[in-house]
Structure 1
């Protein structure tokens, strides 16, 4: 959606260039007005899309936060389990190293 908005923005900028060129030819003014109205409508559409996107992001934020809060204890448990496993492995390694001496 962001890519669409960027493409639309580029299109609007190109249209502005065309409008500037047309301004130098007075007989083109009716076409110019029509293009200007189209550009305004497209820009308005772009603004609405951005507002909708922002609303969606704001709606997602609480559930994302909730998800992360639920994940935290799980990660802490995994970390504790790994630490315990490493401790056991170290004890076994120390035990085995005694026989090498």
Structure 2
């Protein structure tokens, strides 16, 4: 009985390990292909966090079509760089 329980535990651990490995590889691939924009709040207060989310939503709405043209994260970064003033204006209008 103990041998059966040990075998089941080992089988479970191996199953988890082998299911996590492809997921981790996929996450690494995605992180190389994705352009990320971080919006920081002034503090952890509920008000500042809510404002951060409003800024995020406005920027996502504005950039939805803007980044459609980007073939990869490098191109998206160039588009963001070229439109930095406009992105700042969108964020400022929310604030």
The structure whose Rg is larger is: 1
Which has the bigger relative contact order, CA under 8 A and spacing at least 6? 2
What is the TM-score of this pair, normalised by structure 1? 0.38
What is the TM-score of this pair, normalised by structure 2? 0.40
